[in-house]
A and B are shown apart, each in its own frame.
Chain A
Amino acid sequence: MSSHSSLIESSATAQLELLMRGDLFSVELTQAYLDSIASRDANVGAFLRVEKDRALAQAASVDKRRQSNKPLGKLAGLPVAVKDVLCDQDTITTCASRMLENFRAPYDSTVVAKLKAADAILIGRTNMDEFAMGGSTENSAFQITRNPWDLERAPGGSSGGAAACVAADMAPLSIGTDTGGSIRQPAGLCGVVGLKPTYGRVSRFGLVAFASSLDQVGPLARTSQDAALLLETIAGHDLRDATSLDRPVPAYSQSVAEPLAGVRIGLVREHFAEGLDSEVASAVRDAVAVYESLGATVKEISLPHSKHAVATYYVIAPCEASSNLARYDGVHYGHRTDEAEMLEELAAERKALEAAKDEVGLSRLDSSLVRMYRKSRSEGFGAEVKRRIMLGTYALSAGYYDAYYLKALKVRRLIRQDFDEAFREVDLIAGPVTAQTAFKIGEMVDDPLSMYLVDLYTVSANLAGIPGISLPCGFDKSGLPIGLQLLAPPLEEERLLRGAHMYEQATDWHQRRPEI
């Protein structure tokens, strides 16, 4: 058991080396993680489904091919957990929603296809907020995920399962998605590394859309070296995604260990305002001091429009979501209401209206088609998803479009311009990932507005389309992880990873483990 725990506590990069040298079988490694899941996930709840049989079969196949010196993919034998929002051919993809509880995609998402081609072991599907809407994973229709550092607390979200499974050593690598902070925020709250790539860096094909212009798929891992390995596997141009960028993918895992000499770091004046927890603030300032000790120069910069970022995000994201989720209407696939019951209900309503001679009521009575839509959607979606669909539908309605959507697009452009300006003077922007460390489960369920503010420091990167990384930079008095966020100009993931790696070399926060 102790060899087991040292094995699963080692980095994915180290595991891969053992696998490649033939000193470790993938079946052994996969089984170690399956054992870890078996013993821990009852408490954590990171996985919606563990693909035990498939994972072991895949692992056996990799081992066999390795023994006969057959060519293998670059992640051959390494387990990877996938957020339940990326289609995996013929298996279920639920998006943690009743609506898609039984949905089997007839195709692989590009990211899953790339993982399969890399011979990664797809160990299981992780929990999330329904359709990736939320920051606590409490909006899952199926289960709560707990923060491995304190089981009373939330892991963040929406990629809560993705972060928690890495933090609790139930997978060495995992795939998350980030629309407003959904990789970086849970990574920060769970004390792991999470990277949101440049918009277009990773294909969205087969990623069930939340907000198409903001969604990006990215890696979660224990170290920046591991994140580099996973990112270079999933990144790249894809003809099936018109918004994917046709730019070469650097060998991130090769360059990650090169320190950034004389890196210029920007600290955002607006980030250190009221609302930021003092322990978080001082951990971030300490992290910046570490960079200074490594030769970095630090400069205060301003992102004047960042104060509008959350408001802008909560117009654009719901607008796109309201449209993207309109297809779940119970007609072609997904949840459909019980039709016999629905028709009975309608007939009863009609009868009552007729008895009351209520002509107006009768004329307003739903057709069976409209009632089928209404009931299917109202049963299939959870409260947060409905809230955002309504927000978006409202904001796109005639008469409101200009005031909300169009205005938000303009502010979005200004936010991007702020970054363009800032990156003329600095190479990286450093700051907190969240204002607070992990919050208690249930604490904010009835307060959606303060839940939306959890995205305060992360949404700007999505609006601007720039890459960002979250890495552990300390712990608060209660022993909860604190995250440091680094942001870089478009397509500078390499700079982010090298910057993160150089900090990891000087600190040991990333080596700490929760006790479960």
Chain B
Amino acid sequence: MSQLYTTVIGLEVHVQLATKSKLFCRCSTQFGAEPNTQTCSVCLGLPGSLPVMNRTAFDLSLKTAVALNCVIPKFTKWDRKQYYYPDLPKAYQISQYDLPMSSAGWLEISDEKGSFEPKRVRITRAHLEEDAGKSIHDEAAGKADSEIDLNRTGTPLLEIVSEPDLSSSAEAKAYLQELKLLLTHIGVSDCNMQEGSLRVDANINLHIDTPEGKIATPIVEIKNMNSFRAVERALDYEAPRQFRVWQETGQKIGEAPKQTRGWDDSAGVTRGQRSKEESSDYRYFPDPDLVPVLVTDDQVAEARKSLGELPADLRNRFVQEYGLSAYDASVIVNQGQGVTNYFEQVARESGDAKSACKWVTQDILRLLKDGEQEINAIGVSAANLAGMISAVNDGKLPKPRAKEAFELMLSTGSTAQQAIQELGIEQVDESALVELCRELLDKNPRVVADVQSGKVQAIGALIGQAKKLNPNVDPGRFREICLELAMESSSSE
């Protein structure tokens, strides 16, 4: 990107909280059930029904807000956001308007490859709200029938709004990855984008240096981005598009209304969406059916305590405690808690963090990427990998054959010990090795002569022969003994 402009991006992320039941009723939040089977009078908004807050949902949002370094006010309330839509049965969504449950936090992002400087992205606010239902529009055959599934209605969502602190698609992606890592790490959400547990809208505009000074272009909100990759592509598309528009129209912020554009993933473009017919006046007001929530210092302290070690803490500790490079620590921690725990177990049990890191970042990660597998589904358990590293370090498994053992363990689920046996690897007795050396040296007087005249590398020819006779021969040790014997025979002459 040239120096013509800087990109300014803020993200609004909706995260579905990992509760068993909905925010204001006891219906299940399980994904994928038959349409309209997970509803009740409350989430259907039937006359006379009343919402009652799900305390677990609030506790999870509190935990998240604390992890995002937010300020937690002592008093927060519920508001009704009112609009008509068939998938919103009460014709209002219970949300939080002017007194959200948290605000003014931050999340630190960095890139292990160094494509941008580490930075703190400010979080404007995070608030709880209920989800709407799902409209399914079937416009086939001219019959524009719509269907509505209210299973999702009332599911707890945490809306996390960032300040416009992101200045590239790479930063936006890093922010999303770090956010997802954090939220899955503390267990508040599965952040599954396919199932809609994590949804992203982006606000983007440009700051352009002109001879008349710095100007800002109108803000565009991008929707319909269904993966982090889509977010990255949409932003990469949108920034130069806005620059072209500015070159054509010269329109500055405030001179055009905020526009909403949808990302078309297959075409790779953003398209203007028809703005809502009536300007959106949601007529927010406090929900009289719910009481405000009072948050005590103790509850905040409890939430903080429940967080444990966060990803950023883990990265630091891996550098300090295991001597990993910052890069390796990031690579491991960014894989999520499964890989992180796996690495720690291997490192602890083998007592060799360097090797553990090497095996995890190379072999294990390759396996995860190849089959898109869960770490727990991999044939080599952490204990077995640790056992293998120990076997190498103890000389029970020759290093060059470790890979072979690993592959076997992977396919059979066996321990290092079993693999070593299976492969017929056994330590060659020292006297047998000396015997073998003698035998080969006797058969190859030229080699002996070469060695004696200083051509030490001549031994190499014998190593191959030795391996053929006994595959368990440790080439290093064989070489040492041969050299010793060859020199001995020279001095004894």
Contacts and interface: CB of A to CB of B under 8 A. Distances in A.
A70 interface: no
A398 B280 CA distance: 10
A321 to B, nearest CB: 11
Contact of A329 (B41, B47, B80, B91): B91
Interface in A470-506: none
B294 interface: no
Interface of A: prevailing SS: loop
B122 interface: no
Nearest to A373: B84
Contacts of B89: 327, 331-332
Contacts of A323: 80, 82, 91-92, 283, 285
B291 A242 contact: yes
A242 B82 contact: no
Contact of B46 (A95, A106, A207, A319): A106
A141 interface: no
A395 B283 CA distance: 9
Given A103-B47, A393-B283, A401-B285, A242 B90 contact: no
Contacts of B91: 323, 326-327, 329
A360 interface: no
B52 interface: yes
Interface stretch (A2-10, A14-22, A28-36, A208-216): A208-216
A124 B281 CA distance: 42
B48 A212 contact: no
B290 interface: yes
B46 A205 contact: no
A204 interface: yes
B285 A243 contact: no
Give the most central of A209, A326, A397: most B CB within 10 Å.
A326
B289 interface: yes
Given A397-B283, A405-B285, A243 B48 contact: no
Nearest to B282: A398
A105 B50 contact: no
Contacts of B288: 211-213, 243, 320
Contacts of B410: none
A437 interface: no
B281 A397 contact: yes
Contacts of B84: 326, 329, 373
B423 to A, nearest CB: 65
Interface residues of A, number: 41
A242 B52 contact: yes
A204 B52 CA distance: 12
Interface string A310-337: 0000000001100100110101110000
Contacts, number: 93
B217 to A, nearest CB: 26
Nearest to B283: A396
Contacts of A86: 48
B285 A240 contact: no
Given A103-B47, A397-B281, A240 B82 contact: no
A107 B47 contact: no
B462 interface: no
Nearest to B280: A398
A74 B314 CA distance: 63
Contact of B47 (A100, A211, A373): A100
A125 B36 CA distance: 32
B291 A243 contact: yes
A243 B47 CA distance: 17
A1 interface: no
B99 interface: no
Nearest to A405: B285
A90 to B, nearest CB: 13
B48 A207 contact: yes
Interface in A321-371: 323, 326-327, 329, 331-333, 369
B378 interface: no
B73 interface: no
A212 B52 contact: no
Contacts of A273: none
Give the most central of B84, B148, B290: most A CB within 10 Å.
B84
Interface in B69-105: 80, 82, 84, 86, 89-92
Give the most central of B86, B148, B284: most A CB within 10 Å.
B86
B281 A205 contact: no
Give the most central of B41, B44, B49, B80: most A CB within 10 Å.
B49
B45 interface: yes
Contact of B50 (A100, A241, A326, A332): A241
B47 A208 contact: yes
Given A212-B289, A323-B285, A397-B283, A205 B48 contact: yes
B336 interface: no
A340 to B, nearest CB: 14
Given A87-B48, A208-B47, A369-B86, A396 B285 contact: yes
A470 to B, nearest CB: 25
Contacts of A398: 281, 283
A326 B92 contact: yes
A93 B290 contact: no
A348 B92 CA distance: 32
B44 to A, nearest CB: 7
Contacts of A211: 288
B46 A242 contact: no
Interface string A231-259: 00000000111110000000000000000
Given A87-B47, A106-B46, A401-B284, 5 more contacts: A100-B47, A107-B48, A204-B50, A329-B84, A369-B86
- The 9 A-B residue pairs with the shortest CB-CB distance, nearest first, are A326-B91, A212-B288, A213-B288, A396-B283, A208-B47, A206-B48, A87-B48, A398-B281, A208-B48
Interface of B: 41, 44-53, 80, 82, 84, 86, 89-92, 148, 281, 283-285, 288-291
